[in-house]
Amino acid sequence: MRDLPPFPSLRSFLDWCEATAQLQIVPDPVPVCHQMTAVHRAVLERAGPVLQFDHPVLAGGAKAAVPVVANLFGTPDRVAAGLGITLDRLDDLGAFLAALRSPAPPGGMRDTLSRWPMLKAALATRPKFTSSAPVQQIVSEGADVDLAALPVQTHWPADAGPLITWPVVVTRPHGSDVADIAAYNAGVYRAQVLARDKLIIRWLPHRGGAAHHQSWARQGEKTPVAIVLGADPATLLSAALPLPETVSELAFAGALNGARPRLVAAKSVPLMVSADAEIVLEGWVSPTEMAPEGPFGDHTGYYNPAEPFPVMQVSAITHRRDPIYLSTYTGRPPDEPAIIGQVFNRLALPTIRAQIPELHDLWLPPAACSYRIAVVSINKRYPGQARRVMMALWGMLPQFSYTKMIIAVDPDIDPTNWDDIAWALATRMDPARDVMLLENTPMDYLDFASPRAGLAGKMGIDATTKIDSETSRQWGQVMQTSAGDAAFAEDLVSRLMPGSAP
């Protein structure tokens, strides 16, 4: 499925960005406290290039020896490139991923041979273990561990302190084998720097890392953790994808990359880590010790309050001889997570259609924090179908359980066009009949509008044409220009106004 060569490391992807004029070196000294985020945001809002800050300035005024890379996935094209494809091939990759999730049985030799790319992708998920790795060229342990040497940003004025924002946090459940990569979880959970050798890991209870931590804590044991900084793009995006809990992100990255992932044994914890990453922070998360994490600016556009999360004692830092620190920020969209979400929206469509066949299209408006509102267009055939689709979507994936509003429209409505949506709401929806309200459903606790943390209402709005028993009135006929008249008008207008576009 790849249009681009494999990117086994962050550096190989940066080389591609440079070759395609999508990498900008920033030679000016830029403070990691607030100002680097301001520069990053300004460039992202202009759909600008990847930024490499060669002279980051630490909070105390000293210049860091490690450059910072930001805005890696600041455009949908680069997100697609990180997946190995061009943007116009997202639908193909989405269909491929849906087939991998639920493959149909082969119908003969020819059909079996046609599925060879799927088989190859499955084989690529098997890791390749190595005894030496670039990420372990330099090893610091014990008293030599110093997180302050890394150019970790403080993003917003009211943030509690430095925050690591692109960590791939690797864990495994208690009782699993170190070499059993299928049992691993790799998630992107922010990590607050607490001291030179301590971090706070913010993983929410429903996430895989938190579940693994609980499995160790129940035995009264510390959880081994490795935080990979500057992983290859396939691993980064796999860690951000809403994959089923039974699918290992590290293995899935191999399928995306079309190559077996290279792993090496960590130096101080019983885990395997990405051999070609930039930096790895190794350590142990206490079963009992907690510390207040935050406040920090979040994807909602608000600061979330300080809350207790587990503390990680960093036992080792390993890195390349000349490491790169990868960073981003989260805030009110647009930000990198929102842009990644736009691409993932399209990738998820074939999988969702496999469960909800009448779904025509789906849009998660980035401005609505990427998942708080969904607009779905459906091929409607029977009364009540819009409500059934909305309830199916809420129950399909954990992420959709946090969608507080779903608007259902017909296929003639562009779900990405607010003018179309407003017209459908104004002409096809009656508030008393077509609004469905639910109470006490799961919700992201960062939603301050919720009456209670973690529980909130949901709204479904049926803005589809009403049929059969849904209405007692004859429905109106939509006005449309005929195809012949439209072609005539287009030809005449193009001659009257040359160079104009409809």
Instruction: Go through the chain and tell me how many residues it has.
Output: 502
468 is an active site residue: no
402 SS3 class: helix
Instruction: Please give the span between the terminal C-alpha atoms of the chain, in angstroms, as a whole number.
Output: 35
What whole-number distance in Å separates Cα of residue 173 and Cα of residue 179? 12
Interval 400-435: pLDDT, tens: 888 999 999 999 999 999 999 999 999 999 999 999
Please state whether the peptide bond connecting residue 67 to the residue before it is cis, i.e. omega within 30 degrees of 0. Answer: no
CATH classification code of 356-470: 3.40.1670.10
Interval 169-226: pLDDT, tens: 999 999 999 999 989 999 999 999 999 999 999 998 878 899 999 999 999 999 999 9
Best CA proximity match to 139, nearest among 281, 273, 268, 318: 318
What whole-number distance in Å separates Cα of residue 52 and Cα of residue 302? 27
Out of 159, 298, 434, 444, pick the active-site residue. 298
Q: What are 170's strand-pairing partners? A: 186, 226
Domain 10-326: CATH superfamily, name plus number:
Electron Transport, Fmn-binding Protein; Chain A (2.30.110.10)
- Vertex 450 angle, CA 445 and 452, to 5°: 75
Alpha helices in 356-502 (DSSP H): 385-396, 418-428, 431-434, 483-496
Structure tokens at 451: 């009456």
Question: Helices (H) and strands (E) in the chain — how many of each?
Answer: 14, 23
- Vertex 338 angle, CA 233 and 205, to 5°: 85
pTM: 0.89
Q: How is the chain split into domains, by residue range?
A: 10-326, 356-470
Strands 167-171 and 68-70 turn out to be unpaired
Q: What is the pLDDT along the chain (502 residues), one digit of tens a residue?
A: 688 999 999 999 999 999 999 999 999 999 999 999 999 999 999 999 999 999 999 988 999 999 999 999 999 999 999 999 999 999 888 887 777 666 555 556 565 556 556 656 665 668 899 999 999 999 999 999 999 999 999 999 999 999 999 999 999 999 999 999 989 999 999 999 999 999 999 998 878 899 999 999 999 999 999 999 999 999 999 988 767 666 778 888 887 887 888 999 999 999 999 999 999 999 999 999 999 999 999 998 999 989 999 999 999 999 999 999 999 999 999 999 999 999 988 888 888 898 899 999 999 999 998 789 999 999 999 999 999 999 999 988 777 888 999 999 999 999 999 999 999 999 999 999 999 999 999 888 778 888 998 899 999 999 999 999 999 999 999 999 999 999 999 999 999 998 877 7
3-state percent helix, strand, coil for the chain, nearest multiple of 5 = 35, 25, 40
